Structure 1
C-alpha cells in the first residue's frame, strides 16, 4: 500500500526527497515527476559541468517525458558550491525549464541545495544568502529510518574473513575435482586427493540449475555454506549459466527453465528467444523488486567469498541487478571492480556501457502493478 504524505511547503518537500530516493544525494540533479500533483518517485543524475548544462537538461527532460502519466516535475540540484549573491547552477535550472516547456511539461519549481543555504530559482524574493539549511529537517514518510549516506553508500561488498574465503576456495577445488571425475570437466586448479561427498552432492545439483538458483534466492544470503558459495561462484564464472540466473531472477522459476532450454538450443544453432534476450537490455515486464533485491544480496555475498579469479562473474551480476533496481552509481562501482580483475569481462562491459550512456531500464518509466 502506498504511503501518502502531503508537503506543506518547499522546505518539507525538500526534506522528503531523500526518502523518495533511499539516500541523501550529493553533487546531483534530482528529478521528481508529478501526476496531478502527486509524486511518481524520483530520478538522480550526476551534476554536470556548466558547459554541459543544455545537453544534460535535454536528456533529463527526455527521461521525464518517457513516464506516460507525468504532467509536471520538480527539480532539486545538490551542490558543494556556496551561495554568492545568487543560487549556484541557475543556468542548469533554466535549461531544464526551457526543455520542459518545449515538451509540454510544467516545471513546478527548481531548487538548489548549496553548501550554505537553499532556495528556489523561481522565487525572486529569495534573500541573497539563501534560506538556512536547518529548515530542511530530514523526514521519513513511512515507518523506518530516514535514509543515511549518499548515492555511493552501500556498494561496498560485505566483509568476510580470510578464513571464510579460504573455506570457499577449498570447497571450490573439491567441487571441480568432483566435476572432473563425474563429467570430465577440467579443473582450473590442482585436483584434491579425496572427493568430498558434499562436493559430489553439489555437483549433482548442477543438473537442475533453476532449482539451485531458486533455492539460493530463498535462503539466508549471509549464511551460505562454503560449498553452496563455491557452486554459485562456479556457475557465475560461466556466461551461459550466469545468464540463466539473470533471466530467472528477473522473472521466475519457469523463466529459468525456459532460459536454460533456450541456452542449450542456442548452442546447437537455434535463435535465442527475443523475449528472454530483452531482459538483459531492461525491456519487457517489470521484475519484482523484492526478488531482484534478494538476488543482489545473494550475489554480493558470493562476490565477497569467491576467489579473486572468479569474482568478476558475481560482481557483474551485482552490477546488472543494481542497474535493474535503479542504482546506476552502484552498478558502475561493481563493473569497475570486475574490470580491474578481468579487463574484457563481457557482462561488466555491457553494464558499464549502459551506465555511461545513461541508459535506464524501460520498466523504470512504467508504474508498478
Structure 2
C-alpha cells in the first residue's frame, strides 16, 4: 500500500520537515502521519542501535502513528551520517516501516533517506545507487525556519556566579529558618537556643501559607527577575515530591487545579484515595495541558536548576524533565533526567521520566489535536 512521490515533491517535503519539527533532525527517524493529503503532525525518534530487531522497532513506531486520530497514511524519513555510496542509509529500517504500515492498513506516501553525501526515496525506482545530490534539497526556506537539531535548547541558561551564590545563601537561610521553626523535618530538629531568623527567609516562608498563589506568581514573573529568596523557596518546594507534584499539576492547568491538588495531597497523607483525574496528568493522560503554561514553567525551572547549588538541583532538573516530556520534547527530557540521575540516582521522578523515555512512551495528548 504505497504511493510513489516524484523526486521534486520529495525534495520539497524534506525541505519542510525542519519547520514542521522546529529543528533539523540528525541521526533520526521522522514519521509524518497524514489524513488524506494533509499532514497531522510529526514524530521524531532516535535511529535504532546496531543489533536492534528492526521489525519490532518498526511495529512500535507504527503503534505510535496508529494512536493519531484519523491517520490513514504516513511518510517516513531517515536522517543518517552514513554514505549513500553503497545504497540509501536506513533502507532496512524503511523496509520494516513499510511492512508494519501495510500490516496496520496505512498507506506509505514516501520512504526517504538523507545521508552524508546524498538522498533518495526507497520508492523511487529511478533513484541512482549513490543517491541524488544534496544540492537538490537546497530549496527556498519555508516561512518558519528552524535552527539546530533535536538537542538544541536543552542547555541550562547561563547565570552569573554571584546570582548562584545569592540563591545558595538564601536557600541556606530558608532551610535554617524552617528547621528552627520546626517545619523542616528533613533538616533535623530545631537548634537549642534559637538563632535569629533571617528576616527575608521568614518573609518568604510565609508564602507557604498559600503555596498555590506562590507558584502562580512565580510562573507569571520573568525567570530572570526572580529574587534570590523566591528562587530558594521554589527550590525547596521542588525538592519535596508532594509540593513538586502540586506545582506540576497546577502549572499544567491553572490555580484552581493546584488548590485541588494540594488538598488531595493532604487527604492522601491522611489515608484518602488520590483523585484519578489529577494522577492522570502526571502519567500523561487526561486533558491536554496548556502548552503556554508548560513552556513558561519550563523556562522557570530551567533557570532554577541553573541557579541551584548541586545538592538542591535534582528536584528542579526532574521537573524540567517532566515538563519537557509533557511538551513532547523527549530528547530534552532525557537530558535533564540524566543530569538529575548523575546527582541523585534514586530520585523518584527522575526514574519515572527516564523510564518513559526509554520505553518510547509519550503523553496521550501528544497524539491528539489541540
Q: TM-score, normalised by structure 2?
A: 0.93
Counterpart in the other structure of 2:101: 100
Q: Conserved in 1, the CA contact under 8 Å of 2:179 and 2:187? A: no
Residue 264 of structure 1 and its aligned partner are, at CA, apart by 0.3
Residue 140 of structure 1 and its aligned partner are, at CA, apart by 5.2
Structure 2 residue runs of 5 or longer lacking an equivalent are: 1-6
Counterpart in the other structure of 2:295: 293
Report the secondary structure of 2:32's partner residue. Answer: strand
Residue 60 of structure 1 and its aligned partner are, at CA, apart by 0.7
Counterpart in the other structure of 1:58: 59
Counterpart in the other structure of 1:171: 170
Counterpart Cα distance in 2 of 1:18 and 1:152: 13
**Residue 128 and residue 8 in structure 1: after superposition, are their counterparts in 2 closer, same or farther (change >3 A)?**
closer
**Residue 293 and residue 62 in structure 1: after superposition, are their counterparts in 2 closer, same or farther (change >3 A)?**
same
Counterpart in the other structure of 1:37: 37
Report the secondary structure of 1:116's partner residue. Answer: coil
Counterpart Cα distance in 2 of 1:54 and 1:308: 43
Q: Conserved in 2, the CA contact under 8 Å of 1:176 and 1:187? A: no
Counterpart Cα distance in 2 of 1:50 and 1:311: 35
**Counterparts of 1:333-352 in structure 2 under 5 Å?**
333-352=335-354
* Residues 77-134 of structure 1: CA deviation (Å, up to 9, x unaligned): 0000001242122111111011101111100001000000101000010122211112
**Residue 305 and residue 218 in structure 1: after superposition, are their counterparts in 2 closer, same or farther (change >3 A)?**
same
Query: Over aligned residue pairs, what C-alpha RMSD do you find?
Result: 1.9
Q: Conserved in 2, the CA contact under 8 Å of 1:16 and 1:139? A: no
Q: Conserved in 1, the CA contact under 8 Å of 2:11 and 2:137? A: yes
Counterpart Cα distance in 2 of 1:343 and 1:111: 39
Residue 8 of structure 1 and its aligned partner are, at CA, apart by 7.0
Report the secondary structure of 2:279's partner residue. Answer: helix
Counterpart Cα distance in 2 of 1:159 and 1:94: 44
Q: Conserved in 2, the CA contact under 8 Å of 1:31 and 1:44? A: yes
Residue 142 of structure 1 and its aligned partner are, at CA, apart by 3.7
* Residues 320-367 of structure 1: CA deviation (Å, up to 9, x unaligned): 001111111111111111111111000000000000011110011111
Counterpart in the other structure of 2:157: 158
Q: Conserved in 2, the CA contact under 8 Å of 1:50 and 1:92? A: no
Structure 1 residue runs of 5 or longer lacking an equivalent are: 1-6
Counterpart Cα distance in 2 of 1:199 and 1:101: 63
* Residues 10-50 of structure 1: CA deviation (Å, up to 9, x unaligned): 11110110111111111110000111211111101111135
Aligned length: 360
* Residues 261-314 of structure 1: CA deviation (Å, up to 9, x unaligned): 000000000010111011111000001111111010000000111111110000
Counterpart in the other structure of 1:3: none
Report the secondary structure of 2:147's partner residue. Answer: coil
Counterpart in the other structure of 2:75: 74
Counterpart Cα distance in 2 of 1:139 and 1:345: 47
Report the secondary structure of 2:304's partner residue. Answer: helix
Q: Conserved in 2, the CA contact under 8 Å of 1:79 and 1:113? A: yes
**Counterparts of 1:263-302 in structure 2 under 5 Å?**
263-302=265-304
Report the secondary structure of 1:59's partner residue. Answer: helix
Q: Conserved in 1, the CA contact under 8 Å of 2:118 and 2:131? A: yes
Counterpart in the other structure of 1:362: 364
**Counterparts of 1:203-214 in structure 2 under 5 Å?**
203-214=205-216
**Residue 94 and residue 181 in structure 1: after superposition, are their counterparts in 2 closer, same or farther (change >3 A)?**
same
Counterpart Cα distance in 1 of 2:347 and 2:126: 54
Q: Conserved in 2, the CA contact under 8 Å of 1:176 and 1:186? A: no
Counterpart Cα distance in 1 of 2:337 and 2:50: 28
Report the secondary structure of 1:54's partner residue. Answer: helix
**Residue 140 and residue 236 in structure 1: after superposition, are their counterparts in 2 closer, same or farther (change >3 A)?**
farther
Q: Conserved in 1, the CA contact under 8 Å of 2:285 and 2:365? A: yes
Counterpart in the other structure of 1:111: 112
Q: Conserved in 1, the CA contact under 8 Å of 2:85 and 2:131? A: no
